[in-house]
Amino acid sequence: QQRVVIVGAGMAGVQTAVALREQGFTGPVTLVGAEPHQPYDRPPLSKAVLLGKAEDSAFDVDFEALSIELRLGVEVTGLRADAHEVDTEAGPVPYDTLVVATGAEPVTLPGTEGVPGVHLLRTLDDAARLKPVLERRHDIVVVGAGWIGAEFATAAREAGCSVTVVEAADRPLAGALPADVAAPMAQWYEECGAALLTRARVAHVEPGRVVLADGRELPADAVVVGIGARPATGWLAGSGIALDAGGSVTADERLRTSLPDVYAVGDCASFPSARYGERLLVHHWDNALQGPRTVAADIIGETPQVYDPVPYFWSEQFGRFVQYAGHHTGAAELVRRGDPAGPSWSVLWLRDGLLVALLAVGRPRDLAQGRKLIESGAPLARERAADPSVPLKAA
Ligand code: FAD
């Protein structure tokens, strides 16, 4: 029977193993992960786990009962496609089918690598190091006002720390949302008592303080860097696998890679979206849940499925539930639904009478209805989109 080896025991890797069993695959499945911990879920790391409201976030999966062989604390260092083997410190591991699910790793702030008191937030170990930092209730500088920076700042304020967020752009979430959508979110920082310094750059970090490029000095018992993540694909160098310019594995519409018998899924892989007419690289949880089902079905050899999801994610920040579905581009018309100064509102992106994306703040019903509309491709009247008192449904 063919042997499936999955590299990376995060959400995408675990879900691939589980989906294979759910879909009836009976051959050997091996899950190899670099981290020593029982596989766990990442979103709680910047939320409940950080605040000590949850001990950990291990997946509720009985690997033994599912006959999934776990090899934890084992880093995969290379792929030799001709030999159908991956290399580890413990020796080569042969495969018939390989699934690359190594996720992403956080971008570091140049010059601060290894500096004591400078933290990243990606792993359970990172969260464990940050928990006592929060408990000390000291001055914390957060670098980057993206999703991770906002969630960490929320938790640190809740823990009673003094928080300053340093952001190079002129607003939060500059990489994800257009200026007029993200601008009201700057207010959220202020409301919760975190100082947000925009157009600000870190020059260097010294013990106890952060020095900005304009000379300002910020007291800092700890610095948390949240400036993005890049695909963890360095180990694939020299394997011959096709990578995008940003380093993600270039997968096709069935999440197959350029190498025979090798798939890629989750944060480490991009895929072509016919729905959006471009290649997407999605660094969100739902993609690491849905993609594995396509991979498992393809491995089993069922009727091939095309992977073309409506991307979805959520974030919990400053007491708000923020959700986004779809994928917007500058070509779409932006329609507001509710007052962005208020507690709940949405923003919709329409193109040619169709909904292509929406951002919902405290309006989960908008999200659910909008996501369905995007999936179905049914038209949405502009007036209906702009009226928060009526449901989002087809014209
Ligand atoms: P990962 O979760 O990164 O897992 C990859 C695994 O592969 C890791 O365990 C890694 O150690 C292992 N690995 C890497 N290289 C190797 C190697 N060479 N050999 C062996 N193993 C290797 N998304 C949302 O939609 N909503 C949220 O609220 C949200 N919150 C988040 C909060 C935090 C703090 C973080 C870090 C992420 C959050 N995300 C959120 C994003 C979401 O967690 C990711 O999209 C998801 O974890 C991706 O799963 P993955 O399996 O592709 O990658």
- Determine the pLDDT at residue 383: 95
Mean pLDDT of 176-202: 96
Mean pLDDT of 315-332: 95
220 touches 139 (CB < 8 A): yes
**What CATH number has the domain spanning 319-386?**
3.30.390.30
Across 68-187, the runs of DSSP E, i.e. the strands, are 68-72, 76-80, 85-88, 91-94, 97-100, 104-106, 118-119, 139-143, 162-166
Q: Which of 108, 100, 160, 111 is nearest to 134 (CA)?
A: 160
56 touches 49 (CB < 8 A): yes
Distance of alpha carbon 130 from the chain centroid = 19
Evaluate: CB of 239 within 6 angstroms of ligand 1.
no
What is the phi-psi region of residue 385: left when phi exceeds 0, alpha when psi lies from -120 to 50, beta otherwise?
alpha
Mean pLDDT of 159-178: 96
Distance of alpha carbon 351 from the chain centroid = 26
Where is 155: in which H helix or E strand? helix 147-158
Residue nearest to atom 31 of ligand 1 (CA): 43
Q: How confident is the model at residue 302 (pLDDT cuts 50, 70, 90)?
A: confident
- Determine the pLDDT at residue 395: 66
Characterize the bridge pairing of strands 222-225 and 118-119. parallel
Mean pLDDT of 376-395: 93
Residue nearest to atom 18 of ligand 1 (CA): 76
CATH of 108-225, one of 3.40.640.10, 3.50.50.60, 3.40.50.10140, 1.10.3720.10: 3.50.50.60
152 touches 224 (CB < 8 A): yes
* 163: phi then psi, degrees, rounded to nearest 5: -125, 130
- Determine the pLDDT at residue 226: 98
Give CA–CA dist 24/321, Å, rounded.
Answer: 37
- Determine the pLDDT at residue 114: 87
Where do the domains of the chain lie? Answer: 4-105+229-300, 108-225, 319-386
196 touches 165 (CB < 8 A): yes
- What global pTM score does this model have? 0.97
* Cα 187 to ligand 1 centroid, rounded to whole Å: 29
Residue nearest to atom 33 of ligand 1 (CA): 43
Q: Is the pLDDT of residue 305 over 70?
A: yes
Tell me yes or no: is domain 4-105+229-300 CATH 3.40.50.2300.
no
Q: How many CB atoms lie within 10 A of CB 160?
A: 12
**Cα 313–391–332 angle (5° rounding)?**
55
**Tokens describing residue 81:** 């496609």
266 touches 280 (CB < 8 A): no
Q: Which of 146, 217, 177 is nearest to 154 (CA)?
A: 146
- Determine the pLDDT at residue 55: 83
Give CA–CA dist 372/281, Å, rounded.
Answer: 21
264 touches 100 (CB < 8 A): yes
Give CA–CA dist 20/292, Å, rounded.
Answer: 9
3-class DSSP state for residue 264? strand
Evaluate: CB of 93 within 6 angstroms of ligand 1.
no
- Determine the pLDDT at residue 303: 82
Where is 29: in which H helix or E strand? strand 29-33
Up-side HSE of residue 285: CA atoms within 13 Å toward CB?
12
* Cα 268 to ligand 1 centroid, rounded to whole Å: 9
Q: How confident is the model at residue 25 (pLDDT cuts 50, 70, 90)?
A: very high
Give CA–CA dist 144/164, Å, rounded.
Answer: 10
Taking the CA of residue 316 as reference, the ligand 1 atom at the shortest distance is: 28
Q: How confident is the model at residue 304 (pLDDT cuts 50, 70, 90)?
A: confident
Residue indicated by tokens 């294979």 = 20
DSSP 42: S
Q: Do domains 4-105+229-300 and 319-386 have the same CATH topology?
A: no
**Tokens describing residue 118:** 């400078």
Least confident interval from 30-39, 106-115, 241-250, 287-296: 106-115
257 touches 250 (CB < 8 A): yes
Evaluate: CB of 121 within 6 angstroms of ligand 1.
yes
Task: Work out the mean pLDDT of the chain and round it to a whole number.
Answer: 96
Taking the CA of residue 104 as reference, the ligand 1 atom at the shortest distance is: 3
Residue nearest to atom 3 of ligand 1 (CA): 103
Taking the CA of residue 268 as reference, the ligand 1 atom at the shortest distance is: 52
Q: Which of 237, 265, 230 is nearest to 251 (CA)?
A: 265
